[in-house]
Structures are given as structure tokens and as C-alpha cells.
């Protein structure tokens, strides 16, 4: 019963191009969504978030898009850099005070 | 000046043993968590404490016993270790209120049960 799904286990992108990471969710009670980035042997670090009252949030090279009707969100990284190579986790919570539910992650490789 | 620190980073032990993982945060957060990342890579919540009080206890065997002596520490003790307990355990913390969903994670403790 995966409530947060990241169906692409891996993605390779050339440096300078756009990286698009996708996430789907099933629980309609989710109202807050986050992306975390994880390097090997480190813990996940917060990257960007979006509330369900918005459909887009931008922070520098990172933009998260939310499509509530499709229960889908995506993270765009442009331009992609080799240092962006990491595992990206999508996470969601309901009403702001329930524990984060994570997807399985997508491993992004940015090739120079 | 690590924000969330866990010890040990690696732990290899035999089935049936008892082991503990310690976690400390210096962010002044009032809520701490234990997450487990198993072989399938899912990060799943195990426990959550707010100001030393247990507020979330997911379906976790009672061999796992968290203890929070103060709001800066949340330790995890595991009795009678089983092969299926092998995983990476992440401690995290957050602050109630705006940004409560933004967790700060430790680097993880990789437990291997032989």
C-alpha cells in the first residue's frame, strides 16, 4: 500500500539539461509535499516543499509542480549539475502534523 | 557542530543480541523521530517523540524500545535482534509549528544482523 510512489528508480541526464523527477500519491488527505536529496552515507536533506494550496514553488534551479487532480508532483532541476547526482525522495504529509510518508527514491546521475 | 548525530554509524551483530543506537540533536527542536530504511529502500516512520512524550508508534515489534531522556535525545534499543532488523536507521528532528514537516536527519546507522 505505497501511498507515495516514485516509479523511476533511476534517471541519467547530461550536465546543463533539465532533470525531471516524478512522484505520484494515492492519499487525497495529503496536503504538504517535500523533496529530499540524499548523498551516499549521509541522511536525507530537505530540498524544497509545496503546500496543496499552490501548484508551483521555485527555489533557484529547483521547481516543484503539483497537480492535485492527478495526484502527481514533479521536481525540475535546471540546469542540472554533476553535484546534483544523488537519490531524491518525495515525501508527503496530511494536515501538517502526521509523519512524513516517503517514496522509494529516484537516483539521479548528472553526466558531465 | 553536527545538527543531528547518531552513534554508532555501523553496527554488526549476531542474531539474538541486544543493541542500542543513540541520537542527539542540537537544533533546539521539540520533536524527534526514528525512521527505518529497509532493503527495498523505503523510509518508514517507526517512532516520534514530542518533548519526551511518545506521539507516534507505528506497527513496530515491541523488541524495539525508544527512550527519550530529554527533548534533545532519542535512543533506540533493540532486543533479541533478528535478521530482518538489518537496515539503516535514521534519526530526525523537527520543530512544532511552521516548518514542522521539514525534518533534519542524521547520517544514519547501518545495522547488520548476522
Distance from CA of B14 to the nearest CA of A (A): 23
* Nearest residue in B to A43, CA atom: B107
List per-block mean pLDDT (blocks of 10 residues) for chain B, which spans 114 residues: 91 97 95 91 90 82 92 95 96 84 93 96
Residue A94 grid cell: 496530511
Give the separation between CA B100 and CA B102, rounded to whole angstroms: 6
Q: How many CB atoms lie within 10 A of CB A16?
A: 11
Q: Is B103 on the interface with A (CB under 8 A)?
A: yes
pLDDT tens-digit readout, A56-70 = 999 999 999 999 999
Q: Is A100 on the interface with B (CB under 8 A)?
A: yes
pLDDT tens-digit readout, A70-82 = 999 999 999 999 9
Domain borders along chain A are: 4-111
Residue A70 grid cell: 492527478
Give the separation between CA A19 and CA B44, rounded to whole angstroms: 26
Enumerate domains of chain B plus CATH numbers.
4-97+104-113 (2.60.40.10)
For residue B58, the 8-state DSSP code is -
pLDDT in tens, chain A (112 residues): 789 999 999 999 999 999 999 999 999 999 999 999 999 999 999 999 999 999 999 999 999 999 999 999 999 999 999 999 999 999 999 875 678 899 999 999 999 9
From the candidate CATH numbers 2.60.40.10, 2.40.240.10, 3.40.1280.10, 3.40.50.970, the one assigned to the domain spanning A4-111: 2.60.40.10
Give the separation between CA A27 and CA B73, rounded to whole angstroms: 32
Amino acid at each position: 500500500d505505497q501511498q507515495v510512489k516514485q516509479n523511476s528508480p533511476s534517471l541519467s541526464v547530461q550536465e546543463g539539461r533539465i532533470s525531471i523527477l516524478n512522484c505520484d500519491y494515492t492519499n487525497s488527505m495529503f496536503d504538504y509535499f517535500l523533496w529530499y536529496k540524499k548523498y551516499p552515507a549521509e541522511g536525507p536533506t530537505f530540498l524544497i516543499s509545496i503546500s496543496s494550496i499552490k501548484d508551483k514553488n521555485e527555489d533557484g534551479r529547483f521547481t516543484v509542480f503539483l497537480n492535485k487532480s492527478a495526484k502527481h508532483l514533479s521536481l525540475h532541476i535546471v540546469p542540472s549539475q554533476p553535484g546534483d547526482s544523488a537519490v531524491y525522495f518525495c515525501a508527503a504529509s496530511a494536515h501538517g502534523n502526521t509523519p512524513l510518508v516517503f517514496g522509494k527514491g529516484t537516483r539521479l546521475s548528472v553526466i558531465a | 557542530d553536527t545538527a543531528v548525530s547518531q552513534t554508532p554509524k555501523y553496527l554488526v551483530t549476531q542474531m539474538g543480541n541486544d543493541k542500542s543506537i543513540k541520537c542527539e540533536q542540537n537544533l533546539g527542536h521539540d520533536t524527534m523521530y526514528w525512521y527505518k530504511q529497509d532493503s527495498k529502500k523505503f523510509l518508514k516512520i517507526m517512532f516520534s517523540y514530542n518533548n519526551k512524550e511518545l506521539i507516534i508508534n507505528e506497527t513496530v515489534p515491541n523488541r524495539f524500545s525508544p527512550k527519550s531522556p530529554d527533548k534533545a535525545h532519542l535512543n533506540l534499543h533493540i532486543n533479541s535482534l533478528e535478521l530482518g532488523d538489518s537496515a539503516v536507521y535514521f534519526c530526525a528532528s523537527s520543530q512544532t509549528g511552521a516548518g514542522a514537516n521539514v525534518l533534519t536527519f542524521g547520517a544514519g546507522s547501518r545495522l547488520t544482523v548476522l
